[in-house]
Structures are given as C-alpha cells and as structure tokens.
Amino acid sequence: MDFSIPDSGDQSFHFSDLYILREALGKGSFGRVVRCVNKATKQDCAVKIISKTDLNIDLEAAACEVQILSGLNHCNVVKFQGIHHNKHHIFLEMELLRGGTLGALLKQRRLRDEEAATVMWGIFRAVSYLHSRDILHRDLKPDNIMFLSEDLSTLKVADFGVSAKFGQHLFARTFEDMCGTVSFMAPEQVMHRNYSKPVDLWSSAVILYMTITGGHPLLEPGDTVQSYTLKLQRLEWSFPNYFNPLARQLFLHLTNSQPLERYTADQALSHPWVTRTHSEVPRTYLERLAEFNSHTQFRRLCSHLVALGSLLYLKNGKVPKHATVPPPPSTLIIPERSPQTALKSQALSAVSPKPTVKEANKSALRRRSTECLDVQRSRRYSAFCKGQSPRSSALRPVASTYLRKPQLSPLRKLG
C-alpha cells in the first residue's frame, strides 16, 4: 500500500507556531483531539495530534486516514482542512464541531422518535456516500457521531482512523482484520470472517436502538468479548413497548445474521420511518425473489388444475362438477310442444279457411325472415361463447333474403 504523509517543507516548527491551543476535545483513534485557532486563517478548528514516536501508533493507518479524509466532501462527513507534520508529530486539521457528540447527548436524555429518525437520516446519508466511494468506516458509534451545532440535522460522521477503502489490494489483509469497537461490530467482523459494506449497516442499527432506548441492544455490564460473541451467535432481540414498530422493522432488516439480506444504506434511507412518509417498505433482493417464486408456483398450480380438469373431461366424457360448459353455439334449443298445444293447433288448422295466394306469400316471407333472425342469433351466441366480437357483416340481414321471390305453397299448387 503506497500511503505517505505529504511533505510540509520545513519540519522544524512546533505546534505553537501554527495553532493557539484552546481546550482538549477528546481522544480519537491514533491520537488526541484539541480545539485550536489557526494563526494563519484566524478560525477555530479541531486538530488531531498523532505522535510519530508512539510505538502503538500505526503510521501507515494514519496515512490512510489522511488520504481518505482528503478525498471526502459531504455535508454529513467531517470536513478535512489540512495536514502538517514535523519530526515528532502529525497535525490533522478538521472543521470544529461545536454541537458535541451523540454519545454525550444520549447520556443526558433519550431522544424522541422524530429526533431519532433525524439522526439516523444523517447517518444513513453519510454511509451511503462513503459506500458509493467504496469506503468502509468500520467504527460507527455514538462517540464518532458529532453535530455542527445543537440542531440534530447538522450531524457529521467523524474519526476515520480505522476506515479503509474497499479494493482489490486491500481485501486480503484489511477486510479480515477485526477493527473498531467490539460492541458495535457485526457478527462476521467479530468472528474474523470476510466482510464488506454491510458491517457499517449493523453498526448503524445498534446506534438506532440506542437513540430510541438509550441503551445497547445486547451489551450488559460485566460482558466480555467471549460472552458478547456468544450473544451474536444466538441473537435474541427485545424491544420496549414504546419502540416504534416501523423502527423495529428497520432495525431487524439491518441486523440480519446474513449480510446479503441486510438493507443497504440507500434502502434504509427510503424506509418510511426515516422519511416520515407513508411510503412502501423497501424489500431486499432475496425478499423480492421469494415473492416472485411464490407467484410463479401459484401460476403453475392453476395450470396444473386446468390440465387435470381437461383430462377428467376427456376420460369420463362429462364435464367435472366444478366446471360449466355452455351448449354448442350451432344448435338452437327449441322447446317441445305439449300434447294439448299440438291438439289445439290441429283443431285451428282444420277450422281455419284455406289461405289465399297473397296470404301464403306473406307467410312464407315471414317464415324466411324468422329463419334469418334465428341464424343471426345463433352466430351472436357462438361469438359470445368463444369470447369474440362477431363481425358486423354477420349481424346484418342478407339483402337477397328479402328480395328473393317466395315459393308458392304446395297446397296452392294442388288447388
């Protein structure tokens, strides 16, 4: 890895030549952080002081932090302002965050549901930006979440001391190491397995739980690394009654034991608890795949039932009980006449006088018109049963039917 701290020219200067010390802010990875005034710009700033002579300091990792910070520019990530170093120390200058840390805020009070959602919105935005640039923070915790002011929307992610850039050259060495704070590590990270971007989402979920409840979801007083590792292997979550159900759903998606089934930062950003809207709950890839498979199996089941019904119909020569088939469209159902109706018609025909030629012609024309209408109804019924719309030509009467000269009745010829 070709990480190097840039040369600042004259390295014989002292800290007091560049900054005016105001107060100590805390301790970060690889050094302590102090509040200073830059003599050149006359502005307040935060300076991380890294000792080169400290044997516990990994200068290569410190150079990695410098390289990562110098390439970041996001409203939810602490801003890098410059670096200086002499023979004994490295001075990493960053913007001053006056709002304090999330850890200090949680010691004072438990956040409301809306405030917790605002905090997590800023964290997820920062993680999404880092992951888009293939950078893992690997040490997300309340002490590394800071605020520019008292407004919670001014959240900044800080301390990139154990961060790493995801790449082909770093995977073999860096991404099998256990870096960060154990109580915020994902199971694969604690158990020395290969890991990637989902570890930051696990840490974000633990912070989510702490913003709502004020306590850690698993860690208890007296726990050791071994006992905490056993808890990670047998995950059992408990939620208080005031825990928002949507926040609970988001937490469970972020702490899935399978890294591939966890939410990404972009999916967490679109969750309705974070957006505070009635939007759809995002689904992971495996959830979408399972839903697609269930729909496919249902369609196959329907196809098999239809095929089974067809086989029963062909085998038994009758329609199954659950199916109804309309009568053939080409046949017309004509009701049979009762014996009384037949006798009555015969009596009337015997009493009625013989029709004249004109009346016979009208009767024949009326009979042919009735037959034509019956044909039209039959065609319409056939098209209806087939689910088709009949052609307009099939519905119009044929002109030749009406213009055709009617044939004389056989009775008239005999008379």
* CB 202, CB 186: distance < 8 Å: yes
Q: Report which of 102, 272, 115 is spatially closest to residue 203, judged by C-alpha positions.
A: 102
Using CA atoms, how far residue 391 sits from 295, 326, 402, in Å, is: 38, 21, 21
What is the three-class DSSP state of 92? strand
Considering the candidates 10, 54, 139, 177, report the single residue annotated as catalytic. 139
Rounded to whole angstroms, the Cα distance separating 44 from 31 reads: 19
CB 199 within 8 A of CB 257: no
CB atoms within 10 A of CB 77: 22
92-123 burial code (b ≥16 CB/10 A, e <16): bbbbbbebebbbebbeeeebebebbbbbbbbb
Please tell me the distance from the alpha carbon of residue 55 to that of residue 108, in angstroms, as a whole number: 36
Q: What one-character DSSP code corresponds to residue 154? A: G
User: Rounded to whole angstroms, how far apart are CA atoms 33 and 160?
Assistant: 13
How far is the C-alpha of 105 from the C-alpha of 97, rounded, in Å? 14
Location of structure tokens 């006359």:
42
Q: How far apart are the first and last CA of the chain?
A: 122
- Are 134 and 167 in contact by the 8 Å Cβ rule? The answer is yes
Helix, strand, coil % over all residues of the chain, rounded to 5 = 45, 10, 40
Phi, psi values for residue 109, rounded to 5°: -160, 165
Question: Residue 302 is encoded by which pair of tokens?
Answer: 């329907």
139 is catalytic: yes
Specify the DSSP class assigned to residue 144: G
Longest CA–CA separation in the chain, Å: 144
CA distance 123 to 157: 7
Q: How far apart are CA 70 and CA 231, in angstroms?
A: 38
Catalytic residues: 139
